Every structure is written in structure tokens, then in C-alpha cells.
Amino acid sequence: MPIRPAHTRLGRRVPDLQLLQRAPASIADLTEILDRRLAEEQRPEERLRMLREATNQITRTANDAIQAYRRARAAVGAELEMPDGDWPHARKMSAQLDLARADVLEALEQTSHRYAWAEPWTKGEVGSNGPARVGSAQTPVQAAVPDR
């Protein structure tokens, strides 16, 4: 899609579309950096710290993409509601937003399954009680079920 003049409703949202389109590559880059760092580190506590740090960065990237999507989607909706709106451009941007959103969701889904060795936190392990243990065979469902 050619970049529209910045004074149009949709033109002002092109940077949001571009941010959304770049998010999957940013998530992949953060994951690759984490993988390299994990390969060099053997201490479980440090590996978990690295994983938490990367997760925070990926979460920020995803949140930025979500906000960009929301703004661009609102602009598309407003353009389509206008009787003299640029409907072809709005429909094209809508399709691009849908594709970019799907790519972000796929990148997040793939990333969420990469580090099975990192046990999820339980309530007792958050905060001053220290980090979760690394390397447990428990699944997230098993970790959340209290002993009876």
C-alpha cells in the first residue's frame, strides 16, 4: 500500500500498521538473543532471570502492537463509516491489519512453546519467595492443582 499523506485519517495510521508488521520480527529477534544467552549460561537462577527479562520485552512489543492495531482499526472503521471515505484504501488497510495481527499472534504462539523447561510460577513463588524452580517435569496444569 502506498503511504498516504499524513494529513489523512488513514495516512496518520500507516506508522501503526508498520509497527504491527515489524512486531513478529522483533519477537523473533528477542527470542534468538535469549537462545544465544541461554546457551552460554548454566546457572538455573540466571537462566530464569534471562527468560523473565526476554518475556517482559516480548510482552512490551506485543502490547505496543496491540495498541497500534487498535488505533489503526479505529481509523479504518471511521473511514468506512464516512459517506465520502476512501473505502478502497480502508479495505486494503483492513486486510493488511488482519494479516499483520495474525502474524503477531503466530509469533507469540510459537514463542510461548519454546522453553518447556521453565516451570510456571505458583503463587508462593512470586515476590520475596524467590524464582520458580527450573527444570521441573510438571506441566502448567499440574503445577496449578493443589495437593490433596
Provide the mean pLDDT of the chain.
Answer: 81
Q: What is the domain range of residue 96?
A: 11-115
DSSP state at residue 115: -
Query: CATH number for the domain including 25?
Result: 1.20.58
Length of the chain: 148
Residue 32 lies in a domain: yes
Does 123 or 86 have the greater pLDDT score?
Answer: 86
Does 102 or 128 have the greater pLDDT score?
Answer: 102
Residue 148 lies in a domain: no
Residue 126 lies in a domain: no
H-helix or E-strand spanning residue 26: helix 14-40
| Strand ranges for 18-78 from DSSP E | none
Phi, psi at 118, each rounded to 5°: -90, 105
- Measured distance CA(30)–CA(58) in Å, rounded: 7
Residue 121 lies in a domain: no
Residues 91, 97 contacting (CB under 8 angstroms): no
DSSP state at residue 137: -
Residue 131 lies in a domain: no
For range 16-25, the mean pLDDT = 98
Residue 129 lies in a domain: no
Q: Buried b / exposed e across 96-109, counting CB within 10 Å, b at 16+? A: bbeebbebbeebbe
Query: pLDDT of 54-108, one tens digit each?
Result: 999 999 999 999 999 999 999 999 999 999 889 999 999 999 999 999 999 999 9
Query: pLDDT of 94-121, one tens digit each?
Result: 999 999 999 999 999 999 888 766 666 5
Give this prediction's pTM.
0.73
Residues 100, 20 contacting (CB under 8 angstroms): yes
Instruction: State the total domains in the chain.
Output: 1
Residue 99 lies in a domain: yes
- Measured distance CA(105)–CA(30) in Å, rounded: 15
Q: Give the model's pLDDT for residue 125.
A: 47
Residue 25 lies in a domain: yes
